[in-house]
């Protein structure tokens, strides 16, 4: 029999995974727990600092006209803002998917796919294990 072993900060839990349907139901249960405990959450982007706001407001032409040392700084700041916004969008998309899965709504992705995406996170690991159950 195959089981899903989910390991987090506090220990390991074992879930049935004999069929694809059982695996998905177990993964959905784990996702629900992660949402309930706040491990999957939405984030709100903070306002840009004055330096970030100024850098983002500049046009490409204005950036190109800056002295090299300033241009390099502005480009770094703009890239940092872009990465932060992209990371927040990914986190929020993951939260929205998790919420839909918990509510049982149809989605294009499964709970199992969501767990696979989170695999290797700071406190989360999973493994599919084969176990032999002796007959009684």
User: Does residue 51 sit within a domain?
Assistant: yes
With 80 as the cut, is the pLDDT of residue 134 above it?
Answer: no
Residue 21 lies in domain:
2-130
pLDDT band at 136 (very low <50, low <70, confident <90, very high): low
User: Does residue 135 sit within a domain?
Assistant: no
User: Does residue 126 sit within a domain?
Assistant: yes
User: Does residue 84 sit within a domain?
Assistant: yes
| Whether the predicted model's global pTM rises above the 0.95 cut | no
pLDDT band at 124 (very low <50, low <70, confident <90, very high): confident
Q: Is 102 helix (H, G, I), strand (E, B) or coil?
A: helix
Indicate the average pLDDT of the chain. 90
User: Does residue 136 sit within a domain?
Assistant: no
Considering its fold, how many domains does the chain have in total? 1
């Amino acid at each position: 029999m195959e089981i899903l072993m989910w390991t987090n900060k506090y220990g390991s839990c074992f879930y049935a995974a004999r069929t694809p349907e059982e695996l998905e139901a177990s993964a959905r249960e784990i996702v629900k727990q992660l949402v309930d405990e706040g491990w999957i959450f939405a984030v709100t982007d903070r306002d840009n600092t004055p330096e970030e706001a100024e850098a983002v407001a500049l046009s490409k032409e204005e950036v190109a006209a800056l002295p090299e040392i300033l241009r390099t700084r502005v480009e770094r700041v703009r890239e940092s803002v872009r990465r932060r916004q992209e990371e927040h969008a990914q986190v929020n998309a993951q939260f929205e998917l998790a919420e839909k899965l918990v509510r049982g709504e149809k989605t294009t992705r499964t709970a199992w796919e969501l767990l696979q995406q989170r695999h290797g996170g700071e406190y989360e690991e999973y493994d599919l294990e084969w176990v032999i159950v002796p007959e009684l």
